[in-house]
Amino acid sequence: MQLSLMRKDPMDRTFSGEDLRSLVQLLLDACALAGNATPQVALTATLWGFARVHGEGLRAQLAEELGEGVRLRDPDTLELTTPLDLTSGSAPAALATYLEGLTEFHEESLLLELRLRFALPQEQEERAFVLHGVLERGKFVLQGLWRTGEGDFQDDTYQFNPWPDEKKLLQKLHDFSRSEGALDAAFCKELFPNRSTKAAGGAVVWLLSYKTPQEWCQRLGVTLGLFLGLLALITSAVAPFLSVFLGFGLVLSGLAFLGVLGLRLYMIYYCRTQMSAMNKRLYTAPLVFTQADLSQDPVAQGDIALRKLTQDIEALGAQCVGDVTSSSLPTEMGAFLRLFCTDDGTALMLVLLHHNNQTQVRPSKANFLIRTELENGGRCVTVNNDGGYRKPFPGLSVVARVFTKARHPADLLRKHRHVLALTEQRQGTRRRPLAPHEILETEVLYHEQLRTVIQKVGYFGWGDAFRMSFQKPLLQYQQDELD
């Protein structure tokens, strides 16, 4: 489930059971004022942040305290679904007790997402209002609120940017819970738009829900091209004497295509210049690690991802070697680095990004690097972050794999060991187990080897930038995947 919210000005608002009851009642009233029939409402709660080994025990505990409808959606996520019988006036009030039960059942902080799903009788799809936050010290701290529909692209959008109506809805909730103002029809229709308005709004959100600038360029080009092409065809069919608009529409479509092409070329240039500058900064100086103590870091102490993933990695039989900071990290980026050594002498690095420029990441976003040394002088490296765009470096015996869908260290380690076994068989060699104190030494040595090679072959080529702009890693870095 782990959805890390990225906010420049994080919202940390205590959200009580009474607030949840008031919100449901407000949404029901707004739905009616917008001209809709009484909807069917269900609440889905998802919890993340507990150690994997405790998942089944927590599921049983929650099922005993809150009733049926509790399941492990995956090894790291508990899901609770509670349908509400709105024929009973006590249904919203029961939600207050429900949330209080969630806040009290676990001592450690957990990530909590509440999804209020409204199924309108006259429509075939649901509307949902998502409350995203943290359970800590017996209370729910709200960090994000947004409205979504079918699909998850809107969730992706509001992961990076706040919902425009977030503050407005919270202010309405404040007034509603204190009977200090009536709901206006315009606002109710914004919350529950009709089909045409919703379709237009969904198209705008889809257009804006990009993860990279080049993806936005593609969506903008598709939207303009389709709109102008259809407009030209309709004009020509209805009024042939206005066929000049067909040519006009084709010209505009062509300009839109050229604009997308130009922006694509710019993105290739941008990727090359940015990556070249970053690699030049990284590989013109020796790699220096500095010992750190995250137990004394106030940000690290409250980070759910750091605590959970540390527990999960240690449950795999790995030993925590220590915490470090690295000179290779850009000054505007903040990350936790924790080193582990597995029981078979493989190095595992946990990298958790907790802020970038002025943007805070809550909880921190995790990436993993797993490395095994071989007796023939080579090494096997597996990562789950964005990469795999460069061709293998000459003179370096490295088997590298990029598995971006492996979001948990257990999954990535399983894939790594599979690739490692195939590598040992193909190269006729065996792994060379590392002692814990050798992990940093070998990392620094490999960095020096890379410095020599990269300064000869270049920091980042045009072909590398082309693949990166399309987010298409070389297939050889994705071979031998188990799933």
Name the region of 69 (left: φ>0; alpha: ψ -120 to 50; beta: rest): left
pLDDT attached to residue 199: 47
Q: Which residues contact 376 (CB under 8 A, 6 or more apart)?
A: 397, 427, 429
- Residues forming a β-bridge with 132: 113, 144
Could you tell me if 134 and 109 are in contact, meaning their C-beta atoms sit under 8 angstroms apart? yes
Q: Under DSSP, is residue 303 helix (H, G, I), strand (E, B) or coil?
A: coil
pTM, two decimal places? 0.84
Number of CB atoms found within 10 A of residue 381's CB: 18
- Can you tell me the distance from the alpha carbon of 175 to that of 154, in angstroms, rounded to the nearest whole number? 27
Exposed (0-12), middle (13-18) or buried (19+): which is 40, by Cβ within 10 Å? middle
Name residue, tokens 């899901």.
79
- Can you tell me the distance from the alpha carbon of 200 to that of 194, in angstroms, rounded to the nearest whole number? 10
CA dihedral 182, 186, 191, 195 (to 10 degrees): 140
pLDDT attached to residue 398: 94
How far are the Cα atoms of 102, 146, 223 from residue 96, in angstroms, in the given order? 10, 20, 44
Name residue, tokens 């042939």.
240
Q: Where are the alpha helices (DSSP H) in 284-332?
A: 298-301, 304-315
Number of CB atoms found within 10 A of residue 75's CB: 13
- Can you tell me the distance from the alpha carbon of 385 to that of 388, in angstroms, rounded to the nearest whole number? 9
Number of CB atoms found within 10 A of residue 13's CB: 13
How far are the Cα atoms of 259, 411, 477 from residue 313, in angstroms, in the given order? 47, 11, 24
Q: Is the peptide bond before 363 cis (omega within 30 degrees of 0)?
A: yes
Pairing of strands 379-383, 398-402: parallel
pLDDT attached to residue 200: 46
Strands (E), 296-420: 319-326, 333-341, 347-356, 359-374, 379-383, 398-402
- Can you tell me the distance from the alpha carbon of 24 to that of 116, in angstroms, rounded to the nearest whole number? 8
Could you tell me if 369 and 392 are in contact, meaning their C-beta atoms sit under 8 angstroms apart? no
- Can you give the pLDDT of all 483 residues of the chain as single tens digits? 567 899 988 889 999 988 988 898 899 899 889 888 888 888 889 999 999 999 999 998 888 887 768 899 999 999 988 766 655 555 566 676 777 777 776 778 999 999 998 888 776 667 899 999 999 888 999 999 999 875 555 787 888 889 989 999 999 999 988 886 678 888 888 888 765 444 444 555 444 444 455 555 555 656 666 666 666 666 666 666 555 655 665 666 676 667 778 878 888 999 999 999 988 888 888 888 888 888 888 888 889 999 999 999 999 999 999 999 886 766 667 888 999 999 999 999 999 998 887 889 989 999 999 999 999 999 999 999 888 999 998 888 999 999 998 999 999 999 999 999 999 999 999 999 999 999 999 999 999 999 999 988 999 999 999 999 888 899 999 887 766
Could you tell me if 43 and 117 are in contact, meaning their C-beta atoms sit under 8 angstroms apart? yes
Name residue, tokens 């009709």.
194
In terms of Cα–Cα distance, which of 23, 106, 68, 459 is closest to 307?
Answer: 106
CA dihedral 277, 282, 285, 290 (to 10 degrees): 140
Name residue, tokens 């802020």.
355
Q: Name the phi and psi angles at 74, rounded to 5.
A: -150, 175
Strands (E), 191-302: 289-292
Range 354-360, long-range pairs (CB < 8 A, 24+ positions): 354/299, 354/300, 354/303, 356/6, 356/332, 357/332, 357/333, 358/8, 359/6, 359/7, 359/8, 360/6, 360/7, 360/8, 360/10
What six digits make up the tokens of 152? 């998850």
Q: Which residues contact 171 (CB under 8 A, 6 or more apart)?
A: none
* Separation of CA 206 from chain center: 17
